Chain A
Amino acid sequence: MKKWLIILLTLIILATLQLSWPVCLSFFHAKPDLLLIFVVSLVFYFNFKIALLFAVLAGLFKDAFLPSASAINTLAFSAWSYLTFRLSSQISTENSYVRLVIILIISLLNNTALGIQSLNSGNYIPAGIFLRNLLITSVYTVALSPFIFKLTKRIAA
Chain B
Amino acid sequence: MFKLSRRTITNSILIVCAVFLVSIFSPSFKNSTQKTLKPQLSLIDLLKRECAGIIFYHRNMVEFDRLNGDVESLRRNLFDLREIEQENSRLKSLLGFKQKSPLHLVSSRVIARSPDSWSSSVIIDKGKYSGIRRGMAVINTRGLVGRVVEVADNNSKILLVNDPSQGISSIVQRSRQEGLVSGSLGSNLIMRYLPDDAQIAVGDIIITSELSQVYPKGLLVGRVINIGKEFSGLSRYAVIKPAVELSNIEEVLVIIP
Residues of A whose CB lies within 8 Å of any CB of B are: 15, 18-21, 23, 26, 29-31, 33, 35, 62, 65-68, 73, 111, 114-115, 118, 121-126, 129, 133, 137
Q: How many residues of B contact A (CB 8 A)?
A: 27
A116 CB to closest chain B CB, in angstroms?
10
Q: Which of B111, B182, B184 has the most CB of A within 10 A?
A: B184
B132 CB to closest chain A CB, in angstroms?
15
Cβ contact within 8 Å between B117 and A29: yes
Partner of A68, one of B113, B119, B187, B190: B119
The total of Cβ contacts below 8 Å across the A-B interface reads 79
B53, CB-defined interface residue at 8 Å: no
Residues of B whose CB lies within 8 Å of any CB of A are: 111-119, 121, 123, 149-150, 157, 159, 163-165, 182, 184-187, 190, 192, 247-248
Cβ contact within 8 Å between B190 and A118: no
Known A66-B121, A115-B118, A121-B165: A126·B184 in contact at CB below 8 Å: yes
B138 CB to closest chain A CB, in angstroms?
13
A21 — which chain B residues lie within 8 A by C-beta? 113
A63 vs B192: C-alpha distance in the bound complex, in angstroms? 30
Known A67-B165, A129-B184: A20·B119 in contact at CB below 8 Å: no
B247 — which chain A residues lie within 8 A by C-beta? 23, 26, 29
Cβ contact within 8 Å between B113 and A118: no
Partner of B115, one of A65, A115, A129: A65
Cβ contact within 8 Å between A67 and B163: yes
A65 vs B121: C-alpha distance in the bound complex, in angstroms? 9
Cβ contact within 8 Å between A125 and B114: no
Give B118's nearest chain A residue, CB to CB: A114
Known A23-B248, A67-B121: A125·B164 in contact at CB below 8 Å: yes
